[in-house]
Amino acid sequence: MQLYKGRPEDEEGRSEKEIRVYDLLDSLGTEYFRIDHAPATGEDPGLMDEIERTLDARICNNLFLANRQRTEFCMLMIPSHKRFRSSDISKQAGRSRLHFAEPEYMQELIDCAPGSASVMGLMNDTEKRVQLLVDEDVLNSEYIGCHPCINTSSLRIRTEDVFGAFLKALGRDFITVRAD
């Protein structure tokens, strides 16, 4: 695995949604680093460790959640070593009991498939139906490791850039939560 600064020089074979992420980050003047890799599904801990070592950033879990009626959706950014407890996070977020949403909602709202959900996907939620929830430990990291809406590349971006210029450009806010 090799770390590259910025977007790929050759975009042939890259998905449109991935290119849109690079376009937005570039338009904001956001510095980012990228690696390309085999599909990262979380089922290969060795691959995830290698990605994090190469990026020099921890990739957090991005959980796509919904209420029982599927009328409210949230994306929870949480460190991989922490556990999602629905009652705790739901209460902190001021939402009725959240649970994992079906993949078709993730695809429809943020244009990401399971295993590729990322804060970058919020750029595709033009109706702002998805509320971002962020564990406080993510905010205390220097960098965010995330996918550009696909799970065959990973990005390292300064946390302050993601929760500053990026979310501001999208007109988005977030709710800070604390998981155990």
4-177: CATH, from 3.90.960.10, 3.40.190.10, 3.40.640.10, 3.40.50.300: 3.90.960.10
Percent of the chain with pLDDT over 90: 86
d(CA 20, CA 9): 15
For residues 125 and 118, is the Cβ–Cβ distance under 8 A?
no
**SS3 label, residue 36:** strand
DSSP secondary structure code for residue 58 in this structure: P
Q: What is the pLDDT of residue 49?
A: 87
Question: How many of the other CB atoms lie within 10 Å of CB of 61?
Answer: 17
Rounded distance between C-alpha atoms, residue 76 and residue 86, angstroms: 11
Q: What's the chain's Rg over C-alpha atoms?
A: 15
Q: Any idea what DSSP says for residue 145?
A: E
pLDDT at 47: 85
Of 60 and 77, more confident? 77
* Rounded CA separation 120/129 (Å): 15
Residue 144: pLDDT over 90:
yes
pLDDT tens digits, 5-22: 999 999 999 999 999 999
Delimit the domains of the chain by residue range: 4-177
Q: Is the pLDDT score of 41 beyond 80? A: no
pTM exceeds 0.85: yes
Query: Mean pLDDT over all residues of the chain?
Result: 94
Largest CA distance in the chain: 46
Q: Which helix (H) or strand (E) element contains residue 159? A: helix 159-161
Which pLDDT score, from 0 to 100, does residue 62 have?
94
Q: What proportion of the chain, given as a percentage, has pLDDT over 70?
A: 99
Q: Give the pLDDT band of residue 81 (cuts 50, 70, 90).
A: confident
Q: Is the pLDDT of residue 59 over 90?
A: no
